[in-house]
Chain A
Amino acid sequence: MSLLSTCEWIQNTDLSTAIREGALYYPIIGGVHLLAIALFGGMLLAVDIRLLGWGMQRRAVSDVVGQLRAWKRFGFVVVVASGALLGWAEPLKLYHSKSFWIKMALLLMVGVHALVFRKTVYGNSTRLDEAPLMPSVAKLAAVLSLILWAGLVLSGRLIAFDA
């Protein structure tokens, strides 16, 4: 089964039709998606701000990273789940949307980012507390995560403007 025919199959499921054609499902799921972007993005921004030394300097890195981790993950799960439902509603449109594929590539890079920096930064925050200066690898992780997140928001928004 090709990707295109899979998209056609999804588009014809009852769930897809219901979200697409129901008056309220789409905006409500969209609202949840937005709120989860704010939750995930907000937690991510707070952690990155601390890693970059732009704020919360009096708090230990491990305090910020460790205590916000659960909420960051919760936000991420909700944003992905609500996004998947929005995508389920119009797979054919997404299949032909360049912005959507850029967004999926960025999402893949979010996974790569997490794997690459887990050992040195996010899972290593007590060692970062002891470092006299924030190691450049932590700052790099923060900058890349900001760029990825902003790119995901931008490419997601631009899907609506693809023909």
Chain B
Amino acid sequence: MSVLPFLNWLGSSALANAMNGPEWAFPVVECFHFFGFALLIGTIAIVDLRLLGGGMRRQSPAELTQDLKPWTLSGLALMLTTGPAMFAADPKVYYFNPSFRFKIACLLVAILYHFTVLRRAVKPDVPPVVGKLAAVISLALWIAVVGGGRMIAFV
């Protein structure tokens, strides 16, 4: 089964028409994408920085994860709605863009990593060095996602 019929269908869907309609539609949706990643990556960074021994040191990593969870998830939800909408604006161009593929690969790993490894790394019985390593990998993954996204327009 080929993915091309799906891309063609998506590219002529009502969503694609809306995104390609008024000139401001795409940049405005993109800004909400930015708001989403500031929430998502900002709240994850607070936890990662804490694991590295900086930022909110009076709280434990587990407490911060719990405190910020609703906002991390809101950010993720905003990203995962605005992102596909932007994809729909020009599905074939994105699908064949190497930077886009890199970004999506990093994103899948980053999400999976976040809900498996990082969720465990914040627990109090984890040795600090393991927590630090987990935080560095988390930051690197999210930086790769943003960097890959930025490069889409340049490759």
Known: A38-B42, A150-B35. A46 touches B68 (CB 8 A): yes
| CA of A68 to CA of B151, assembled, Å | 30
Which of A56-64, A113-121, A125-133 is found at the contact surface with chain B?
A: A56-64
- Using Cβ atoms and an 8 Å threshold, which residues of chain B touch A56? 67-68
Query: Cα distance A37–B54 when bound, in Å?
Result: 19
State in angstroms the CA–CA spacing of A42 and B42 once bound together: 4
Interface residues of A in 31-45 (CB under 8 A from B): 31, 34-35, 37-39, 41-43, 45
Residues of A contacting B70 with CB < 8 Å? 55
A67, B47: Cα distance in complex, Å: 12
How far in angstroms is the closest Cβ of chain B from A49? 6
- Report if A53 contacts B (CB, 8 A): no
**Interchain nearest-CB distance for B50 vs A (Å):** 9
B58 touches A42 (CB 8 A): no
Q: Are A68 and B59 in contact (CB under 8 A)?
A: no
Minimal Cβ-Cβ distance residue in A for B28: A154
When chains A and B are docked, how far (Å) is the Cα of A46 from the Cα of B42? Answer: 8
| 29 CB < 8 A contacts A-B | A26-B154, A27-B151, A27-B154, A34-B150, A35-B147, A39-B41, A41-B35, A42-B43, A42-B46, A45-B38, A46-B46, A55-B67, A56-B68, A59-B56, A59-B59, A63-B56, A63-B59, A67-B55, A67-B56, A67-B58, A68-B46, A70-B55, A71-B45, A150-B35, A157-B27, A157-B31, A157-B34, A161-B24, A161-B27
Beta-carbon contact of B150 and A27 below 8 Å: yes
Asked if B7 lies at the interface with its beta carbon under 8 angstroms from chain A, I say no
Chain B interface size band reads 35 or more
Are the C-beta atoms of B38 and A35 separated by less than 8 Å? no
Binding site for B on A (CB under 8 A): 23, 26-27, 30-31, 34-35, 37-39, 41-43, 45-46, 49, 55-56, 58-59, 63-64, 67-68, 70-71, 150, 153-154, 157-158, 160-161
Residues of B within 8 A of A23 (CB): 154
Task: Verify B27–A160 contact, CB threshold 8 A.
Answer: yes
Given contacts A157-B34, A160-B27, A161-B27, contact A39 B55 (CB under 8 A): no
Complex alpha-carbon distance, A79 and B37, angstroms: 15
Q: Which residues on B sit within 8 Å (CB–CB) of A43?
A: 42, 46
Q: Besides A37-B38, A59-B67, A154-B28, 14 other CB < 8 A contacts? A: A34-B34, A35-B147, A39-B41, A41-B34, A42-B42, A42-B45, A45-B39, A45-B43, A46-B68, A46-B71, A56-B67, A67-B55, A154-B27, A154-B31
